[in-house]
Protein backbone atom coordinates (compact mmCIF):
# COMPACT_ATOMS: atom_id res chain seq x y z
CA UNK A 1 0.00 0.00 0.00
CA UNK A 2 1.36 3.44 -0.95
CA UNK A 3 1.84 5.92 1.85
CA UNK A 4 2.84 9.53 2.36
CA UNK A 5 3.84 11.81 5.22
CA UNK A 6 1.68 14.51 6.77
CA UNK A 7 3.17 17.55 8.48
CA UNK A 8 0.95 19.86 10.50
CA UNK A 9 2.54 23.25 11.08
CA UNK A 10 1.15 26.06 13.23
CA UNK A 11 2.62 29.07 14.98
CA UNK A 12 3.05 27.14 18.22
CA UNK A 13 3.48 23.48 17.30
CA UNK A 14 4.18 20.97 14.59
CA UNK A 15 3.47 17.27 14.23
CA UNK A 16 4.48 14.72 11.64
CA UNK A 17 2.70 11.50 10.73
CA UNK A 18 4.38 8.91 8.53
CA UNK A 19 2.55 6.09 6.79
CA UNK A 20 -0.57 8.12 5.94
CA UNK A 21 -2.72 6.31 3.40
CA UNK A 22 -5.56 8.79 2.94
CA UNK A 23 -6.46 12.42 3.65
CA UNK A 24 -9.85 14.09 3.23
CA UNK A 25 -10.22 17.86 3.42
CA UNK A 26 -12.47 20.64 2.16
CA UNK A 27 -11.87 23.80 0.17
CA UNK A 28 -14.27 26.23 -1.54
CA UNK A 29 -15.02 23.70 -4.29
CA UNK A 30 -16.05 21.00 -1.80
CA UNK A 31 -14.62 17.89 -0.21
CA UNK A 32 -11.59 16.20 -1.77
CA UNK A 33 -9.24 13.31 -1.03
CA UNK A 34 -5.52 12.74 -1.38
CA UNK A 35 -3.77 9.39 -1.76
CA UNK A 36 -0.07 8.63 -2.22
CA UNK A 37 1.18 9.59 -5.67
CA UNK A 38 -1.32 12.46 -5.99
CA UNK A 39 -0.27 15.30 -8.26
CA UNK A 40 1.11 18.52 -6.84
CA UNK A 41 -1.72 20.29 -5.05
CA UNK A 42 -2.18 23.61 -3.28
CA UNK A 43 -5.55 24.30 -1.66
CA UNK A 44 -6.94 26.71 0.93
CA UNK A 45 -8.66 24.59 3.58
CA UNK A 46 -11.90 25.82 5.11
CA UNK A 47 -12.65 26.21 8.81
CA UNK A 48 -13.79 22.83 10.12
CA UNK A 49 -12.78 19.19 10.21
CA UNK A 50 -10.47 17.24 7.94
CA UNK A 51 -9.43 13.63 8.51
CA UNK A 52 -6.57 11.29 7.76
CA UNK A 53 -5.76 7.63 8.18
CA UNK A 54 -2.51 5.75 8.70
CA UNK A 55 -2.80 2.22 7.29
CA UNK A 56 -5.89 0.46 8.58
CA UNK A 57 -6.01 2.41 11.85
CA UNK A 58 -9.13 4.43 12.67
CA UNK A 59 -9.55 7.89 11.15
CA UNK A 60 -7.88 10.78 12.96
CA UNK A 61 -9.90 14.00 12.86
CA UNK A 62 -8.17 17.32 12.39
CA UNK A 63 -9.93 20.51 13.50
CA UNK A 64 -8.53 23.72 12.11
CA UNK A 65 -9.57 27.35 11.57
CA UNK A 66 -8.68 27.17 7.89
CA UNK A 67 -5.23 26.76 6.47
CA UNK A 68 -3.13 26.09 3.42
CA UNK A 69 -2.59 22.55 2.12
CA UNK A 70 0.45 21.73 -0.03
CA UNK A 71 1.13 18.25 -1.44
CA UNK A 72 4.25 17.33 -3.42
CA UNK A 73 6.37 14.17 -3.70
CA UNK A 74 4.25 12.20 -1.19
CA UNK A 75 4.62 14.92 1.43
CA UNK A 76 1.47 16.68 2.61
CA UNK A 77 1.99 19.90 4.54
CA UNK A 78 -0.77 21.86 6.22
CA UNK A 79 -0.05 25.37 7.45
CA UNK A 80 -2.56 26.82 9.90
CA UNK A 81 -2.80 29.10 12.92
CA UNK A 82 -3.85 26.24 15.17
CA UNK A 83 -4.99 22.63 15.01
CA UNK A 84 -6.50 19.89 17.19
CA UNK A 85 -6.32 16.14 16.54
CA UNK A 86 -8.54 13.42 18.00
CA UNK A 87 -9.79 9.99 16.96
CA UNK A 88 -13.19 10.63 18.58
CA UNK A 89 -15.44 12.54 16.17
CA UNK A 90 -17.89 13.72 18.83
CA UNK A 91 -15.17 14.97 21.16
CA UNK A 92 -13.28 16.88 18.48
CA UNK A 93 -16.51 18.37 17.14
CA UNK A 94 -17.22 19.75 20.61
CA UNK A 95 -13.65 21.04 20.92
CA UNK A 96 -13.95 22.67 17.52
CA UNK A 97 -17.10 24.47 18.53
CA UNK A 98 -15.75 25.59 21.90
CA UNK A 99 -12.13 26.47 21.23
CA UNK A 100 -11.76 27.29 17.58
CA UNK A 101 -15.00 29.21 17.28
CA UNK A 102 -14.04 31.27 20.34
CA UNK A 103 -10.67 31.96 18.71
CA UNK A 104 -12.35 33.00 15.48
CA UNK A 105 -14.67 35.33 17.42
CA UNK A 106 -11.68 36.95 19.15
CA UNK A 107 -10.05 37.43 15.75
CA UNK A 108 -13.18 39.09 14.37
CA UNK A 109 -13.34 41.35 17.43
CA UNK A 110 -9.68 42.30 16.99
CA UNK A 111 -10.24 43.17 13.33
CA UNK A 112 -13.28 45.28 14.25
CA UNK A 113 -11.27 47.05 16.95
CA UNK A 114 -8.48 47.81 14.49
CA UNK A 115 -11.00 49.17 11.98
CA UNK A 116 -12.47 51.47 14.67
CA UNK A 117 -8.99 52.69 15.61
CA UNK A 118 -8.16 53.38 11.97
CA UNK A 119 -11.43 55.27 11.52
CA UNK A 120 -10.74 57.30 14.66
CA UNK A 121 -7.22 58.16 13.51
CA UNK A 122 -8.44 59.21 10.06
CA UNK A 123 -11.16 61.36 11.64
CA UNK A 124 -8.57 63.00 13.92
CA UNK A 125 -6.22 63.66 10.96
CA UNK A 126 -9.09 65.19 9.03
CA UNK A 127 -9.94 67.42 12.00
CA UNK A 128 -6.30 68.49 12.35
CA UNK A 129 -6.11 69.34 8.65
CA UNK A 130 -9.15 71.62 9.01
CA UNK A 131 -7.61 73.60 11.89
pLDDT at 96: 80
DSSP 80: -
Q: How far is CA 62 from CA 41, 49, 51, 77, 128, in A?
A: 19, 5, 6, 13, 51
> How do the pLDDT tens digits run along the chain, 131 residues long?
699 999 999 999 999 999 999 999 999 999 999 999 999 999 999 988 999 999 889 999 999 989 999 999 999 999 999 899 999 999 988 888 887 778 778 888 999 999 999 999 999 999 888 88
pLDDT at 107: 86
Residue (of 14, 12, 9, 44) closest to 30 by Cα position = 44
Name 100's Cβ contacts closer than 8 Å, sequence gap at least 6: 47, 63, 64, 65, 82, 84
φ/ψ of residue 74, rounded to 5: 60, 35
Please give the Cα distance from 106 to 121 (Å, whole number).
22
DSSP H or E stretch at residue 116: helix 101-130
Amino acid sequence: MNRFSLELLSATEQQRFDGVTSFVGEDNSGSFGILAGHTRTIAPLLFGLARFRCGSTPWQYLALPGGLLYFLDNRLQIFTRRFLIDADYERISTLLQQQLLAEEQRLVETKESLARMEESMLRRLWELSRE
